Structure 1
Amino acid sequence: MGWVTIGLAAATMLGMALVLSFVLGWANRAFHVEVDPRVDAAIDVLPGANCGGCGYVGCGEYAESIVLEGAPVNLCTVGGKSCAEALAGVMGVEVAASYPWRPVVHCGAHTSDRLGRSPYKGEQRCGPANLVTDIQGCTYGCLGFGDCTRACNFDAIHIEDGLARVDYERCVGCGACAKACPRNIITMAPFKSDRMLVVECSNHDAGKDVKSVCKVGCVGCGACGRACEMFTLQDNLSCLDYDNYSLENLEAGLIAAKKCPRNRLVFVGTPSDKDILAAAKEDLPDIVKPDFKTTVDDTEWRG
């Protein structure tokens, strides 16, 4: 009797297995979705950092968008030019010329440069601190609590003496630091050269008000704009017109940098050997290996 029971159970299990196999086979055929092999090829080309710098959730979504929606192949900031060329090969298209995007911190004030500071014992993060009105006199400047540092997966931005500084040798341009900054003083900009001349301030207040809260902030004197057409004064703040940024205009830009009374026009980026030799002959206001960029409105190029 026991053998009969065991046999019936085994037959039942076998029958169920056959039925389920048939159902799964039918479902596989009925709901099968063809995947373009170029998607897998694109995923293999991408670095797999899933940093979101391209504007997509991860490399897989970006690969699908390239193949299925015709997204540009040059959006991967981590992979750079070689990755764009490889993706163009997968898609059989020409890759458009582009510049690497890198963050710029639009503030040059270290702790000792900031006036009107008040003791702050709250959570040591920029987000909560930004809600405190009197934490420091300048309501535009870097808070220095390192939200950007914690957001970076590449150890490419650090707080030095209360100011965020970018290590461009490590930076891949993912944009995480810019997204983390509650004051939007870190912006992403296309670097037309290894070193870029930028405006290290984002304060829109009148000159006398800037002097009352910061020792180095832009006072809106307009000297840079009179010396070089790349600079314009917008709402009391010197701004760089990136469309006019070129090597031809850079000589005038150097003159403008020398005329700035607050030394807020500085070079940021990674200098080449040629740049270092050239800079050794120039009396420039500041040349820094870490880089900054500032903008209260992160949709605009601020210089």
Structure 2
Amino acid sequence: MSWVIVSLAAATMLAMALVLSFVLGWANRAFHVEVDPRVDSAIEVLPGANCGGCGYVGCGEYAEAVVENNVPVNLCTVGGKSCTEALAAVMGVEAEVSYPWRPVVHCGARYADRLGRTVYKGEQRCGPANLVTDIQGCTYGCLGFGDCTRACDYDAIHIEDGLARVDYRACVGCGACAKVCPRNIITMAPFKQERMMVVECSNLDAGKDVKAVCKVGCLGCKACKRTSGMFAIVNNLSTINYDNYTRENLESGLLAARKCPRNRLVFVGVPSEQDILAVAEEDLPDVIEPDFKTSVDDTEWRG
């Protein structure tokens, strides 16, 4: 009798296996999605950092966008020129030139330069601290609690004396630091040269109000604008017109930097050699401007 039960169980299992095999085979044919083999090839040449610097969630999504939507092949800041060329080869297109994009910190005030600072005992992060309106006099400046440092996977940005500083030799341009800064004083800028002149300030207030909260903030005095056509004053703040940023105009730009009473026109940079692409024919944007936020811009008021 026992052998009958065993045989029945074995037959039942065999029948179930045959049915499931049939169902799985049918499902595989019915729901099969044809994948362009170039997607796998594109994924193979990407660095696999999944940093999001290209604007996509990860390397896989970017690879699909390149193959299926003809997205430019030069968006990978981590892979640099070699990655651009490899993706171009996969797609059978000519490698498009691009600038290496790197972060710029639009603040130069260290602890000793900040006026009106108060003792902050809350969570030691920039996000929560940004909601406290009186943490420091300048509502535009770097908070210095290191959210950008923690966001960087390449150890390329550090807090020095309360101020974020970029190590451009380690930076790959992923943009993680710019995305996490609650005041948006870290912006991504195209580097046409190894060293680029920038304005190390973000305060949009009038000069007398800047003096009240910072020892080094831009006063909007227009000395730079009068000296060089590279500069413009926008909302009381000096900005650089990068369309006029040429080697020929740099001489007047250097003179303007020397005339700045607050020494806020400085050079930053030195990307790695592999990131300096052939950009002679590419146009620079007119002005590289941060999208500044103050302590209260994202506050939801109740009452």
Alpha-carbon distance between aligned partners in 2 of 1:207 and 1:50, rounded to the nearest angstrom: 43
Task: Map residues 27-46 of structure 1 onto 2, 5 A cutoff.
Answer: 27-46=27-46
Q: 1:258 & 1:159 partners in 2: Cα distance? A: 27
Equivalent positions of 1:11-50 (< 5 A) are 11-50=11-50
Does residue 1:257 correspond to 2:252, yes or no? no
Give the corresponding residue for 2:94.
Answer: 94
Given that 2:239 and 2:289 are in contact with CA atoms closer than 8 Å, whether structure 1 keeps it comes out as: no
* TM-score in terms of structure 2 length: 0.90
Q: CA deviation at 1:296?
A: 3.8
CA shift for structure 1 position 31: 1.0
Q: What residue in structure 1 maps to residue 275 of structure 2?
A: none
Q: CA deviation at 1:270?
A: 2.0
Which 4+ residue blocks in structure 1 deviate beyond 4 angstroms? none
**Which letter does structure 2 place at the counterpart of 1:117?**
R
2:203 counterpart SS class: coil
- Equivalences for residues 97-108 of structure 1 within 5 A: 97-108=97-108
Residue number in structure 2 paired with 1:68: 68
Could you say which residue in structure 2 is the equivalent of 1:179? 179
CA distance in 1, matches of 2:227, 2:86: 43
Q: CA separation in 1, counterparts of 2:242 and 2:289?
A: 14
SS of the counterpart of 1:251?
Answer: helix
Counting matched residue pairs gives 279
What amino acid is aligned across from residue 78 of structure 2 in structure 1? V
Superposed CA deviations along residues 9-62 of structure 1, whole A, max 9, x for unmatched, are: 001101110111111111111111111000000000000000000000000000
Structure 1 stretches lacking a partner, 5+ long: 273-292, 299-303
What residue identity is the alignment partner of 1:37? Answer: P
Equivalent AA in structure 1 for residue 243 of structure 2: D
Matched, 1:5 2:33: no
> How far is the alpha carbon of 1:297 from its aligned partner?
3.8
Aligned AA for 1:238?
A: S
TM score, norm. by length of structure 1: 0.90
The answer to whether the aligner puts 1:268 opposite 2:263 as a matched pair is: no
SS in 2 for 1:102: strand
* CA distance, structure 1, for counterparts of residue 289 and residue 242 of structure 2: 14
Q: Which residue of 1 aligns with 2:56?
A: 56
CA contact (8 A) 1:230 1:253 kept: yes
Q: Report the CA distance shift for 1:136/1:297 in structure 2 as closer, same or farther (over 3 A).
A: closer
Contact 2:168 2:271 in 1 (8 A): no
Task: Name the structure 2 match of 1:280.
Answer: none
CA contact (8 A) 1:200 1:294 kept: no
Aligned counterparts of 1:154 and 1:161: Cα–Cα separation in 2: 21
2:290 to 287, 291, 295: 295
- Judged with a 3 Å threshold, the aligned counterparts in structure 2 of structure 1 residues 221 and 34 are, in CA distance, closer, same or farther, namely same
**Are the counterparts in 1 of residues 140 and 292 from structure 2 also a CA contact under 8 Å?**
no
CA shift digits 1:44-89 (9 cap, x unpaired)? 0000000000000000000000000111100000001110111011
Please report how far the alpha carbon of residue 237 of structure 1 lies from its aligned counterpart in structure 2 after TM superposition: 0.3
Task: Give the deviation of 1:295 after TM superposition.
Answer: 2.6
| TM-aligned CA deviation for residue 249 of structure 1 | 1.4
Aligned residues: percent identity? 79
Contact 1:117/1:135, CA 8 A, preserved across alignment: yes
Where structure 2 has 5 or more consecutive residues not aligned to the other structure, the ranges are: 273-287, 294-303
